[in-house]
Structure 1
Amino acid sequence: MSDGADTGEAGEPGTEARPGLVRRFLLGLIVVLPMSAALIAGGAFLYGKWRFNAPGPAAAPTVVWLAPGHGLSSIAERLREAHVLDETGIFRLAVELNRAAGALKAGEYEIPAHASMADIVRILREGKSIVHRITVPEGLTSQEAMEIVRADPVLTGDMPPVPAEGSLLPETYNFSRGTTRAQIVQRMQKSASALINEAWPHRTANLPYKTQREAIILASIVEKETGLAAERPKVAAVFVNRLRKPMRLQSDPTIIYGITGGKGPLGRPIRQSELDRVTPYNTYQVDGLPPTPICNPGRASIEAVLNPPETNDLYFVADGTGGHAFASSLADHGRNVARWRQVEKKAVQVPVKAAEERTAGTKPVIPLKAPARHVGG
């Protein structure tokens, strides 16, 4: 009986080994699972790093505009839409891991062909966006300058009111996409104010004008009288000497401005009736300076009227070469005018001669451009 009882208590073979197997299995999982997770994570990291530095999908340089105010997700989606990224997840994750989201700058960028995600992040962090330029030449009126601003295809926003004449500094201005027309005009005005404020304290003593505005008015006349940079100081000296005499300025550009109101060139010679008419801008008929500038003078003209050279010249007339002949006496000026009249006469004869030569099959002579009237005549 005891043997039968013992056999029944022993149970099935191997039951005592099962707890050990379970323990070993669990211990194996504890070891293997972290290792597997580490391997998977390491593999994912290596794959992500490879993708982050791998060449991108863009086959050619691509311009991308990233507007201000967008977060990382919007930036990544815009890059994907521009086909410089083929997916956004790795890009976003890499930027977040590097804590670079706040360093990505808005702007217009040229992404090179096959730029990697790493290249794109570097470009956006540096913020070296595409630079656009707008140039306002010296001597334009404010109305003419505003037409250039209006026509620029990159600037945005409505046109501001036409600024006061002489309040813009003609220069080339760099800007990035997203800049408004009003902002560019404000920069032109600030640059003009900064220039005269900086130069005014260093002006020559005892000039015949006492305010910055008067200096800008005279600079605008100098700007319109000559297109040669080397002549601006000499032209400025003539007008300074005349104001000191006093003598009337006798400047054709002031008459033209009075006729056109700064809306553009006159397009024809000044009529005698316009020379005889008394208006605030007819410096043949009124003393001193006109009431406002007649254009926006450049830096060279402003510097010329603030520091004119010491000369005795009171007259100048075109010399036929694009420049002017200067004189201190009316007699010398008369001789310069006579020489100029000969140039004018030849210029009138050239078209006739050119027509004759064209009929003979020879190369025509190009006539000289007719110049403005002379100062002091």
Structure 2
Amino acid sequence: MRANNIQLIVGFFLIVAIASFIGSAVADLDTTANILTAGSTPFEVLRGEGASDIAAKLHKDNIITSKFSFVTYAAITGAFRNLKPGLYALPVGNIPGIVRALTKGPQDVAVTLYPGMSVSEMDKKLYESGVIRRHELEKFAIEEKLEGFLMPDTYHFHQQSDVSVVVEKMRENFNAETRELFANMSEKEITRIVTIASLIEKEVSRVDDRRIVSGIIYKRLYNEYPLQIDASVAYGACEGVYTACETFSADSFKKDTPYNTYTRTGLPPHPIANPSVDAIKAALNPTQTDYYFYLTDRATGTTHFSATFEEHSKKRAQYLAD
């Protein structure tokens, strides 16, 4: 057999092997993309990490199911040596999308921070969007006493932002929205209003109801009667995280903490959430009524008010019975 024929045969089998290799990777890639497509997850690429290192981390974090498919796809698309370091929010299981994101580098992302979110909850949302590292905002907020003063809104941040830049944008928004509302007020007065607004934000949603609840809060404060606001107790028991808190229970109302508005009179030591402008306006403009009690119907979300404890007890039995 001639040498050139042998080379042709060897070349043919080599092509078949390569095609089989790529085909297997692509098939695996398609399967992975179809199985895991729900949501995104935060991920950090460190400077100096290569495709194999990144693939191992992605696999460990359950963002991809096949390291082989990731490395192969990065190789055949020419992205192998162009994966950029930074913080990302990556599409789970979508290897083409992951490789595109890592090739482009960190991008601007829209993040919606809702009224009533605590600093801890905002921290988690920003981390999941690839904007900051976990707990960066929490640490910054403790030092600067920012709970309550970060305006809820939809923001556009660059992934891998400096936390001080993130805070500056949110504080500027807060100041712009409240400058006229807080004109000629002292820092102590502003903190008191924002604390009351945070309680209102967590208790009721309708504007008219908020002003009535605001009036009840002021009346209780004046008469040195416990505020008895569940959200404040939850803030203390759950360290500022309201959702999926396993430490909040009936026993939380018996444990005396600075946030337990059942065992103590007065306001909690600082805001328990970041309120909306509507809640701040309600704190500034309370509606005076004969009411002293209120509760929210779990089924409809309607707030029911009472002037006496006896009337309140009847409504509790009616609307809050298990």
Name 1:236's counterpart in structure 2. 214
Aligned AA for 1:329?
T
Relative to 1, partners in 2 of residues 1:234 and 1:256: Cα closer, same or farther, differing over 3 Å? Answer: same
Matching residue within 229, 236, 261 for 2:239: 261
Matching residue within 160, 164, 172 for 1:190: 172
C-alpha displacement of 1:202: 8.6
Pair 1:222 & 2:200 matched: yes
Matching residue within 309, 312, 322 for 2:301: 322
Gaps of 5+ in 1: 1-129, 204-208, 346-377
Q: Distance in 2 between matches of 1:340 and 1:263?
A: 26
Q: Distance in 2 between matches of 1:168 and 1:221?
A: 15
Q: Distance in 1 between matches of 2:246 and 2:162?
A: 36
C-alpha displacement of 1:232: 1.8
Name 1:284's counterpart in structure 2. 262
Matching residue within 208, 212, 221 for 2:190: 212
- What SS class does the counterpart of residue 182 from structure 2 fall into? helix
Name 1:81's counterpart in structure 2. none
Provide TM-score, normalisation by structure 2.
0.57
- What SS class does the counterpart of residue 304 from structure 1 fall into? helix
Give % identity: 27
Residue pair 1:258, 1:282 contacting (<8 A) in 2 also: yes
Q: Distance in 1 between matches of 2:183 and 2:221?
A: 21
Matching residue within 302, 308, 312 for 2:280: 302
Give deviations 1:43-99, integer Å, cap 9, x for gaps: xxxxxxxxxxxxxxxxxxxxxxxxxxxxxxxxxxxxxxxxxxxxxxxxxxxxxxxxx
Provide TM-score, normalisation by structure 1.
0.49
Residue pair 1:142, 1:162 contacting (<8 A) in 2 also: no
Relative to 1, partners in 2 of residues 1:244 and 1:305: Cα closer, same or farther, differing over 3 Å? Answer: same
- What SS class does the counterpart of residue 133 from structure 1 fall into? strand
Relative to 1, partners in 2 of residues 1:336 and 1:176: Cα closer, same or farther, differing over 3 Å? Answer: same
- What SS class does the counterpart of residue 288 from structure 2 fall into? coil
Pair 1:148 & 2:125 matched: yes
Q: Distance in 2 between matches of 1:236 and 1:268?
A: 29
- What SS class does the counterpart of residue 173 from structure 1 fall into? strand
Residue pair 2:238, 2:247 contacting (<8 A) in 1 also: no
Name 1:134's counterpart in structure 2. 111
Pair 1:337 & 2:319 matched: no
Residue pair 1:316, 1:324 contacting (<8 A) in 2 also: yes
Relative to 1, partners in 2 of residues 1:178 and 1:257: Cα closer, same or farther, differing over 3 Å? Answer: closer
Relative to 1, partners in 2 of residues 1:328 and 1:200: Cα closer, same or farther, differing over 3 Å? Answer: farther
Name 1:11's counterpart in structure 2. none
Q: Distance in 2 between matches of 1:198 and 1:227?
A: 23
Q: Distance in 1 between matches of 2:319 and 2:221?
A: 25
Relative to 1, partners in 2 of residues 1:321 and 1:282: Cα closer, same or farther, differing over 3 Å? Answer: same
- What SS class does the counterpart of residue 325 from structure 1 fall into? strand
Pair 1:168 & 2:150 matched: yes
C-alpha displacement of 1:293: 1.0
Q: Distance in 1 between matches of 2:304 and 2:238?
A: 28
Matching residue within 251, 260, 265 for 2:229: 251
User: RMSD across aligned C-alpha pairs, in angstroms?
Assistant: 3.0
Q: Distance in 1 between matches of 2:188 and 2:121?
A: 29
- What SS class does the counterpart of residue 192 from structure 1 fall into? helix
Aligned AA for 1:151?
E
Q: Distance in 2 between matches of 1:331 and 1:202?
A: 42
C-alpha displacement of 1:245: 1.9
Q: Distance in 1 between matches of 2:189 and 2:205?
A: 25
Relative to 1, partners in 2 of residues 1:268 and 1:227: Cα closer, same or farther, differing over 3 Å? Answer: farther
Q: Distance in 2 between matches of 1:237 and 1:227?
A: 15
Q: Distance in 2 between matches of 1:182 and 1:255?
A: 30
Residue pair 1:200, 1:306 contacting (<8 A) in 2 also: no
Residue pair 2:214, 2:282 contacting (<8 A) in 1 also: yes
- What SS class does the counterpart of residue 265 from structure 2 fall into? coil
Give deviations 1:113-154, integer Å, cap 9, x for gaps: xxxxxxxxxxxxxxxxx985321001111011122222225x
Q: Distance in 1 between matches of 2:242 and 2:313?
A: 32
C-alpha displacement of 1:187: 1.1
C-alpha displacement of 1:162: 3.7
- What SS class does the counterpart of residue 334 from structure 1 fall into? helix
Gaps of 5+ in 2: 1-106
Relative to 1, partners in 2 of residues 1:290 and 1:131: Cα closer, same or farther, differing over 3 Å? Answer: same
- What SS class does the counterpart of residue 170 from structure 2 fall into? helix
Instruction: Please identify the structure whose Cα radius of gyration is greater.
Output: 1
C-alpha displacement of 1:335: 2.5
Q: Distance in 2 between matches of 1:326 and 1:262?
A: 27
